[in-house]
Amino acid sequence: WAGADPATLLPSQSIKGPIRDREGNRVSHRDGNFHIYTIEWKPEELRFYIDNVLQDVITEAIPSEPSQVLFGLRQMPWAGTADWEDSQTVLVDWVDIEPLPDP
């Protein structure tokens, strides 16, 4: 979130859109199944995949230093209103961090 306003936490660029499947249909991941979330971090872009389907690419404000990966459910100003009343749980089965091969 490079350039984010500290008062509002609004990012300088964000991905606002539904999760899409291979056919381009909107899907929900509140389905009780495991899903694969992938971030490819390259000097010129960040690519976001869900279940091996490219969701979006960010080409501005790419971090040049190692960043943190945060997992969880939380209410943020740009995410809209949460549609749950009770606590929610995120179950992470495994995390794999590996270098990308040179192009």
Stronger pLDDT, 27 or 67, i.e. the higher one: 27
Does pLDDT of 17 surpass 90? Answer: no
Does pLDDT of 11 surpass 50? Answer: yes
Q: What is the pLDDT of residue 38?
A: 92
- State the residue for tokens 């939380």: 74
Q: What is the pLDDT of residue 51?
A: 95
φ, ψ of residue 26 in degrees (nearest 5) = -70, 135
Mean pLDDT across the chain, nearest whole number? 78
Q: Which of 5-19, 41-55, 79-93 has the lowest mean pLDDT?
A: 5-19
Stronger pLDDT, 20 or 72, i.e. the higher one: 20
Stronger pLDDT, 44 or 1, i.e. the higher one: 44
80 CB-contact burial (10 Å; exposed 0-12 / middle 13-18 / buried 19+): exposed
At 103, is the pLDDT very low, low, confident or very high (cuts 50, 70, 90)? Answer: low
Q: What is the pLDDT of residue 66?
A: 73
